Structure 1
């Protein structure tokens, strides 16, 4: 069965099922639980896209932890603007703490670079990235994510927190654009 959705002026087809997403989250959480056993971690979710992944990831994390959120913007429609704007900054004390940045997707790495610089001047003990989706062929950053659920090609996708013009975040599955 071919499942499609219409969001504004674009059509999308099913790409990653809810089950595949949940399995990937359990795998990411398992690695984090293992790496930070008996350590306190501060998770920093990147809004708006990561809210669903962050929520489901926290349900699988078995560590003493805190969660905070930042909000940056780098997309307009289906493409990156090339500039990252900080909309909500970090308000949690992370000095001398392990920090895991929680992203929905890592593609170019531009957003990550901005978030690293936001976090770095707070002197954390360590900083790593957990993302549900990673596009290695699009990545141009310096530090790739340590924890990722699924590697995907450089296609535009929506659903499960990811949007097209702020819509489509509320689906349980992930859809890819039909070109």
Structure 2
């Protein structure tokens, strides 16, 4: 039987999103940038975060996957790439969760090949103890333990994304 143990409340998440947006606002000021969300997982975090950003911005998305069931496959598949021309522009890459770093690193490398002026990364959840690839992350919401989390966009086999909080999946 699958159970969900609440981990981060809606209120905790909302507070952290505002804190991250304040840091981003401070760093970018009134300078335009392109916010790129990594789908599908980051859609809720992305939407909530950019609502609090005061700088002018454009948005785009990249769709990738690397998980099979509750384990990372180690293979990153890009299903849909960004459409924006980011050459010479400031870019903020927004991701829901980083664990091994393999996926985020591959996506960062792909973005860097398009010659942005600057690239910064923002993640809501960071499983530092699972890191295999060191990836620069300028904005981090929560450092979390090595548990399989769901909710607030994060899924298990494409389910649970609609939960307004983040929970730990227990089998």
TM-score range, shorter chain: over 0.9
CA distance in 1, matches of 2:133, 2:32: 27
Whether the 8 Å CA contact 2:70–2:156 is kept in 1: the answer is: yes
Correspondent of 1:77 among 64, 69, 73: 69
CA-CA distance at 1:11 after TM superposition: 1.5
Q: 2: CA distance between counterparts of 1:87 and 1:25?
A: 27
Q: Report the counterpart of residue 45 of structure 2 in structure 1.
A: 53
The question of whether the paired residues in 2 share the 8 Å contact of 1:15 and 1:176 is answered with yes
- Asked if 1:170 is matched to 2:166, the reply is no
Q: Does structure 1 conserve the Cα–Cα contact (< 8 Å) formed by 2:30 and 2:54?
A: no
Distance 1:178 1:72 in 2: 25
Gaps of at least 5 residues in structure 2 are: none
Q: Which moved more, 1:150-159 or 1:131-140?
A: 131-140
**Aligned equivalent of 1:20, options 9, 12, 24:** 12
Match of 2:94 among 90, 94, 102: 102
Paired residue total: 171
RMSD: 1.0
Determine whether 1:136 maps to 2:128.
yes
Q: Cα distance, 1:39 vs. partner?
A: 1.1
Counterpart-to-counterpart distance in 1, 2:102 and 2:4: 25
- Aligned ranges for residues 118-157 of structure 1 at < 5 Å? 118-157=110-149
Please give the per-residue CA displacement for 1:138-178, whole angstroms capped at 9, x wherever unaligned. Answer: 12223231101111011100000000110000010111022
Structure 1 CA distance for aligned equivalents of residues 132 and 68 of structure 2:
19
Of 102, 117, 122, 2:109 maps to: 117
Q: Deviations over 1:61-104 (max 9, x none)?
A: 01010110000110011110010011001111111111111001
Residue 118 of structure 1 deviates from its aligned partner by 1.5
SS of residue matched to 1:175: strand
Unmatched runs of 5 consecutive residues or more in structure 1: 1-8
Q: Normalising by the residue count of structure 2, what TM-score does the alignment of the two structures yield?
A: 0.96
The normalised TM-score by structure 1 is 0.92
- Work out the CA distance in 1 between the residues paired with 2:102 and 2:2: 25
CA–CA distance in 2 between the matches of 1:144 and 1:174?
A: 24
How far apart, in 2, do the equivalents of 1:40 and 1:72 lie?
Answer: 25
Contact 1:90 1:118 in 2 (8 A): no
